[in-house]
Structure 1
Amino acid sequence: MKAKLITCMICLLLIGNPARSANNTVALPILEIVKAVTKKVIKAIDLRIQKLQNKTIWLQNAQKKVENVLSKLKLDEISDWTKKQKDLYQGYYEELAKVKSIITYYQRIKDITKKQTKLVEEYERAWNLFKQDSHFKESEIQYMERVYSGILEESVKNIDQIFLILDSFSTQMSDLKRLEIINKAADQIDSNYDDLTLFNQQNVMLSLQRAKTEAEVNQVKQFYGIP
């Protein structure tokens, strides 16, 4: 529900923020929302990982104690009590494996969220440069704005996927289904990021092609940080 609400808010912001002049930052509200939400998700994941790591330490210590007790028993002393200890040991082992598996999932989700943050940062860096580049007409800047808005709107869907994955840990979702959602979210953000970087590269190349002198070409390269 929270994820759907966030998506609706962002879509409304996109509709309410049509193309602006080349001197303004495109769709600033959506950027602020995306950055705030991704930051919140990363913080939540860090807290969950910390709790699980603490639980891992406790389980390992408890498992070790039971293991030590069992190792001191003789084979002919097997009884109901020792069976309970073995069952307890097995329970710790299974729970420990489950916790470690969840930590792995959280690390993967965190990586996806960081990629989302990287996408926004790369967008902001490139967009601020293109707006200052005199090789582009205002109509071209407005076109870039529409393309960027489309990429950002697509990337926002990843937030829904991330919340869906986080919520899955409190449901009976299978590991296979959870992994399927994680892989889908990772593929989507990778695709969004690739689209963004390709579009940026095309715009930089266009600026270089419009440079009339070698000195101007060097200026463009320096402006965009091209070696």
Structure 2
Amino acid sequence: MKKAIVIFLFLTCSLTILPTKKSHAIIWVVVKAAIKKIIKAIDLQVQRIQNKTIALQNAQKVLENQLSKLKLNEISEWTNKQKEIYQKYFDELWKIKSAIAYFQRITEIISKQKQLVSDYKNAYALFQQDRHFTPSEIEHMYTVYSNIIAESLKSVDNILSVVDAFSLQMSDAHRLQIIDEAAAEIETYIVDLRKFNQQNISISMQRAKSADDLFTLKQLYGVK
């Protein structure tokens, strides 16, 4: 994931030094390549999380079956050793259920990040078709979009550390904090991107020179 972020930022920065007339064709080629790399990286991480979730769910079933066989509620006298084993089962079961919950939430966050990239891709393609924007305005849009996407990827990268952390030392409070912060950040980026899109659509419509022109713009952006 970090490699995808670095590639995306490098390509973004390289575009800023290109002449305006050459930027339009090159920008879209670079954007599509960067988006493809980003989505591929995210898909790999989602698959990784899903595989871990399945493994944890299978382990959970094993533990629950073992507990049912023990029939501890029917045992009248426990030895200290039995109590210790019993407690270990439940401690492990709690950890597994907790991990599954974490992974499910992480998957939801990554899916939202993918939607963010998709929204960006679709909006940018439409604005490029809109003759009411100057080349410099299109390039400004690209810069804004690039910053939003780059920051959102950092948030996703942070929550992926939670996945790795299950093999390391990390408290539940720390895991939850990382996930909550990333979720809030992604939601903020989605809101920011959609607000920016709406602002640009409004600007374009204000520049419409006729009723037919306005109708065409509404068709382009799917505005009723």
- TM-score, with normalisation over the residues of structure 1? 0.87
Q: 45, 49, 52: which one pairs with 1:45? A: 49
Deviation of 1:127 after TM superposition, in Å, equals 0.5
Q: 98, 103, 111: which one pairs with 1:101? A: 98
2:216 corresponds to 1:219:
yes
2:6 corresponds to 1:8:
yes
Deviation of 1:17 after TM superposition, in Å, equals 3.3
Q: Is the 8 A contact 1:151 1:196 kept in 2?
A: yes
User: Does the residue aligned with 1:212 lie in a helix, a strand or coil?
Assistant: coil
Q: Is the 8 A contact 2:63 2:93 kept in 1?
A: yes
Computed over aligned residues only, the root mean square deviation of the Cα atoms, in angstroms, reads 2.0
User: Does the residue aligned with 1:131 lie in a helix, a strand or coil?
Assistant: helix
Deviation of 1:163 after TM superposition, in Å, equals 2.5
Quote the residue 2:62 is aligned against: 58
Alignment of 1:19-168 (within 5 A): 21-24=23-26, 25=28, 27-67=31-71, 70-73=72-75, 75=76, 78=77, 80=79, 83-168=80-165
Deviation of 1:4 after TM superposition, in Å, equals 4.6
Deviation of 1:44 after TM superposition, in Å, equals 0.5
Q: Hey, what's the Cα distance between the residues in 2 that align with 1:89 and 1:101?
A: 19
Q: 1:211 to 1:79 in 2, by over 3 A?
A: closer
Q: Is the 8 A contact 2:15 2:23 kept in 1?
A: no
User: Does the residue aligned with 1:170 lie in a helix, a strand or coil?
Assistant: coil
* Identical residues among aligned pairs (%): 39
Pick which of 88-97 and 169-178 moved more: 88-97
Counterpart AA for 2:92: E
Pick which of 106-115 and 27-36 moved more: 27-36
| Runs (5+) with no aligned partner, structure 2 | none
Deviation of 1:198 after TM superposition, in Å, equals 0.8
Counterpart AA for 1:12: F
Pick which of 115-124 and 28-37 moved more: 28-37
Q: 1:132 to 1:203 in 2, by over 3 A?
A: same
Quote the residue 2:184 is aligned against: 187
Q: 1:139 to 1:175 in 2, by over 3 A?
A: same
Q: 1:22 to 1:99 in 2, by over 3 A?
A: same
Quote the residue 1:17 is aligned against: 15
Q: Is the 8 A contact 2:12 2:143 kept in 1?
A: no
Q: 1:133 to 1:6 in 2, by over 3 A?
A: closer
Q: Hey, what's the Cα distance between the residues in 2 that align with 1:135 and 1:6?
A: 33
User: Does the residue aligned with 2:23 lie in a helix, a strand or coil?
Assistant: coil
Counterpart AA for 1:21: S
Counterpart AA for 1:159: V
Q: Hey, what's the Cα distance between the residues in 2 that align with 1:207 and 1:23?
A: 21
Q: Deviations over 1:207-227 (max 9, x none)?
A: 111123333322211211123
Deviation of 1:133 after TM superposition, in Å, equals 0.9
Alignment of 1:172-211 (within 5 A): 172-211=169-208
Q: 1:84 to 1:43 in 2, by over 3 A?
A: same
Q: Is the 8 A contact 1:112 1:186 kept in 2?
A: yes
Q: Is the 8 A contact 2:53 2:103 kept in 1?
A: yes
